[in-house]
Structure 1
Amino acid sequence: MKNTFFLTILLSAFLFSCSPGDSSANNSSAADYFPLKLSNYWTYNVDKAGTIDHDSIFVAKDTTINTFVYKKIESKIAPIGFMSNSLNNNELRIDGNKILLTGKPNLNFVTNIGINLSLSDFVIFKSGASANEILSSVSGTIDQVYNSYPITINYTLKSVAQGDLATYTSPNNATFNNVKAVNTILNIKVTTLLGPLPITVLEPQDVIVSTQYFAKNIGVVHANTVYNYNLSTGLGSNLGIPENGNQIINEFIDTYKVN
């Protein structure tokens, strides 16, 4: 009888210690890291090579796509930063520990050159992701004409979790707790025809690498985006494109209202 009693106590203690009642950062819902209630808004100071501009985005309305309810993200004026620009006029929804994007993000890495891509439930955030976990990946080919030249763009767009940060201090010296970072990466290869010959204009390169920092109970508090490309020697002048380009844009949270 004693043995049965002690066995019951041990089993109860084990089950209690393993119960899901533990609350930790890894168990947080995605909604904690990007609150998407109507009228929530975020404003950003955008640093573009030392020139400071301002972006703002807000949750405008509910919209239904294929029976799922999404939150429409809008801006009063066209945003400058990559993160705000990618979300503007597109839809987000929370699916458990994931934030899903549906729409057409701005993915230009040179003026008027990029990919016109429609995304459906592309994962931009996952609260329980491990470092270097690929959250979403889409690949394809796009044909278009640029300065009278036919060009073919082979692309891969992916989002990759970068792990958790107990505290994070952004380059503008603002500190945040419970932060999760995600990389959004666009890799492309560009080819064209010069006469009858196929020519590689751009070898496969990561032309956009953007890191977004999501802080609990706020949303994205900092986004660092690097645009970088190097064309094959001598081909830029034919297409009317600079042979290389590099630009870094930082979006720093300024004000916000979340419910």
Structure 2
Amino acid sequence: MRCIYPIATLFFIAFYCSCSSNESISEELLAEIGSENYFPLEKNNHWTYNIEAETSAKDSVWVEKDSLIEGEIYYQAKGNAQKKGFFTNLISSSLVAKSKSKLFLDGNISQLIPGLEIPVHNLTLLDTKSPLGGELYTNSGISTYEYNKYILHIEYTVSTKTEAVLNDYTLFDDTYNNVIKTSLTVNIKGILTTDVDGYELTIPVIKDQDAIISTQYFAPGIGLIYNEAAIAYQLSNLDQLEGKLPFPTEYSEVITQSIEDFSILN
């Protein structure tokens, strides 16, 4: 497969990537999609991605081993030490499994506020039988992060859905057929609690906001070929704090990863 060179800007992506989607999916196409493997998980399968964000990088991820857990075969993926891509961070810190038409994982979303982990269980990344626009997964919970006398409580909702089935998807010089496009969204809001002279002070510091919006493109026989993740949050009411927090109070970045090379065992 030809190498795909790093992406310089979002305009560059828009100019060189084209796709066409079906408003409805025929029975023939559904049958064809259902017979394809959209994320080969055999041991030693390997993918390399070009990463574009504030700095360019290259990520590698591979299937290291498999384990039988409660009757399901889970696969452990590993990645290079300094992973930058959103998807490579997610997949290499999780156990991944396939069940019938679904690809799902158990793990944590950690590429948001440093030190904060959002747990996910049976997070469905794609389902070849899901109707166009169908919701794949949704789950809500609360995660906390403690620093000195401050406790940050994050209320989150993680959801995924099928966005489109693309007959033809062209990424630079390579064209892929029957690509499934899915999305993953992490919505958050949060409060900060602290003790002031023996009294608990509660400060609403994060308004309801979509902090992560990630779009995945899966090609049959290959796996993920492209991912774009917009990650952003902003804290407010910080004038009520007596000290500084150990992480940025606002953050915004778009991270893209495009496949450069892969090795899939048959």
The answer as to 2:37 corresponding to 1:32 is: yes
Distance 1:143 1:234, change over 3 A: closer
In 1, the alpha carbon distance for the partners of 2:235 and 2:93 equals 31
Distance 1:204 1:24, change over 3 A: same
Runs of 4+ residues over 6 Å off in structure 1: none
The answer as to 2:140 corresponding to 1:139 is: yes
In 2, the alpha carbon distance for the partners of 1:235 and 1:29 equals 54
The answer as to 2:117 corresponding to 1:115 is: yes
Q: Deviations over 1:106-132 (max 9, x none)?
A: 3231333x3341x33221111122232
Name the counterpart of 2:213.
Answer: 209
**Structure 1: tracts of 5 or more residues without a match:** 1-21
The answer as to 2:184 corresponding to 1:184 is: yes
Is the Cα contact below 8 Å between 1:27 and 1:128 reproduced in 2? no
Distance 1:226 1:236, change over 3 A: farther
Question: Please, which moves more after superposition, 180-189 or 141-150?
Answer: 141-150
CA shift, 1:167, in A, is 1.5
Name the counterpart of 1:14.
Answer: none
Could you tell me the TM-score, scaled by structure 1's length? 0.81
Could you tell me the TM-score, scaled by structure 2's length? 0.79
Is the Cα contact below 8 Å between 2:108 and 2:117 reproduced in 1? no
Name the counterpart of 1:12.
Answer: none
CA shift, 1:98, in A, is 0.4
Greater Rg over alpha carbons, structure? 1
**Structure 2: tracts of 5 or more residues without a match:** 1-26
Match of 2:256 among 246, 250, 254: 250
One-letter amino acid of the counterpart of residue 136, structure 1: Y
Distance 1:71 1:29, change over 3 A: farther
In 2, the alpha carbon distance for the partners of 1:233 and 1:200 equals 7
Question: Please, which moves more after superposition, 60-69 or 241-250?
Answer: 241-250
Match of 1:228 among 222, 229, 232: 232
